[in-house]
């Protein structure tokens, strides 16, 4: 088997391309293993979203990474050994992955409302009955509210599902004894300062949120309390970085297409009478 100068360029370009893909596949496997074995993080996220969703996603990452590594192995061997059978197999599997990638993106977009509904139901359910009673759920919510500077499930300051969800629905609020907090410390901008914390949680003033409202008219807002729901803040964060997300997805699609083009061009350049050696 032999290739001309152009074929050699394609050959080593494809080899280099697949080395990069192997590294990406190893990263996927490594990240999947990390998230699966990082019991603290996984347990926290799973406790909020419910079920084994995060564990399943971790396994999918590991499987996807393993498939990518296998594909890269076929591509590297097919390129260096100039075996058309391997190159054709590489092309077919990569094409199927590309189709799966596109179909997954379309399904996520098509069922985005159902995904949103499911996520909100899980968030409301965990906050309604488990916050303050199950340590894993409580820690997960506290971490999320501090990281995203949010309070409750969704909506703005006038929503009954944001900060007001605690005092209107949560078992945590109705089972308090002694000095009553209307929102937990994790909803506060400065929970380490006692004066600021008492203002935030409603223990200092009764004429502003969270004691007053919703709705919260001008002048009744509480600047010591996060007043937007966590789902709303997360959604805003994603929309604010939508260009980056679309860019990453576009790069992944481009890499897949590039791999298919390389394999087809190199396969055509290989002067081999036998289709499979």
The predicted-structure confidence for 14-43, as pLDDT tens digits, reads as follows: 888 888 888 888 988 888 888 777 655 555
Q: Which residues pair with 225 in a beta bridge?
A: 188
- Which of 158, 137, 156, 118 is closest to 232 using CA atoms? 156
The answer to whether residue 123 sits within a structural domain is yes
- Report the distance separating Cα 115 and Cα 45, nearest Å: 16
- Report the distance separating Cα 131 and Cα 54, nearest Å: 20
Largest CA distance in the chain: 87
Which pTM value belongs to this model? 0.76
The answer to whether residue 236 sits within a structural domain is yes
The answer to whether residue 251 sits within a structural domain is yes
Mean pLDDT, rounded, for 253-260: 87
> What total number of domains does the chain contain?
1
The answer to whether residue 49 sits within a structural domain is yes
Q: What are phi and psi of 182, to 5 degrees?
A: -85, -25
Residues 245 and 238: beta-carbon distance below 8 Å: yes
The answer to whether residue 165 sits within a structural domain is no
- Report the distance separating Cα 268 and Cα 277, nearest Å: 15
Looking at residue 232, what is its pLDDT? 95
SS3 5: helix
The parent domain of residue 122 ranges over: 1-127+230-276
Please state, for a pLDDT cut of 70, what percent of the chain lies above it.
90
Question: Bigger pLDDT: 20 or 166?
Answer: 166
For the stretch 81-116, pLDDT in tens is: 888 888 899 999 999 989 988 998 899 889 999 989
The answer to whether residue 257 sits within a structural domain is yes
Element (H, E) at 55: helix 53-81
Residues 232 and 162: beta-carbon distance below 8 Å: yes
For the stretch 54-80, pLDDT in tens is: 677 778 888 988 988 988 888 888 888
Q: How confident is the model at residue 162 (pLDDT cuts 50, 70, 90)?
A: very high
Question: Per 3-state DSSP, what percentage of the chain is helix, strand, and coil (rounded to 5)?
Answer: 70, 0, 30
How high does pLDDT run on average in the chain? Answer: 86
């Amino acid at each position: 088997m032999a290739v001309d100068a152009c074929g050699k360029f394609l050959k080593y370009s494809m080899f280099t391309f697949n080395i990069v893909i192997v590294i990406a596949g190893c990263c996927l496997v490594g990240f999947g293993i990390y998230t699966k074995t990082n019991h603290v993080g996984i347990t926290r996220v799973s406790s909020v979203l419910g079920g084994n969703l995060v564990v399943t996603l971790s396994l999918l990452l590991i499987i996807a990474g393993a498939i990518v590594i296998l594909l890269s192995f076929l591509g590297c061997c097919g390129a260096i050994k100039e075996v058309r059978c391997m190159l054709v197999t590489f092309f077919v599997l990569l094409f199927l992955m590309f189709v799966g990638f596109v179909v997954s993106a379309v399904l996520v977009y098509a069922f985005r409302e159902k995904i949103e509904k499911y996520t909100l139901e899980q968030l409301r359910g965990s906050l309604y009955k488990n916050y303050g009673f199950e340590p894993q759920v409580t820690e997960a919510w506290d971490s999320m509210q501090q990281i995203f500077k949010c309070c409750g499930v969704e909506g703005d300051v006038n929503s009954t599902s944001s900060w007001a969800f605690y005092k209107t629905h949560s078992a945590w609020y109705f089972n308090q004894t002694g000095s009553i907090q209307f929102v937990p410390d994790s909803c506060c901008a400065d929970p380490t300062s006692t004066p600021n914390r008492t203002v935030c949680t409603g223990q200092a003033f009764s004429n502003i949120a969270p004691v007053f409202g919703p709705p919260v008219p001008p002048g009744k807002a509480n600047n010591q309390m996060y007043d937007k729901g966590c789902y709303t803040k997360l959604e805003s964060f994603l929309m604010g970085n939508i260009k980056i997300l679309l860019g990453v997805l576009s790069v992944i699609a481009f890499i897949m297409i590039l791999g298919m083009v390389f394999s087809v061009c190199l396969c055509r350049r290989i002067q081999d009478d036998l289709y499979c050696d």
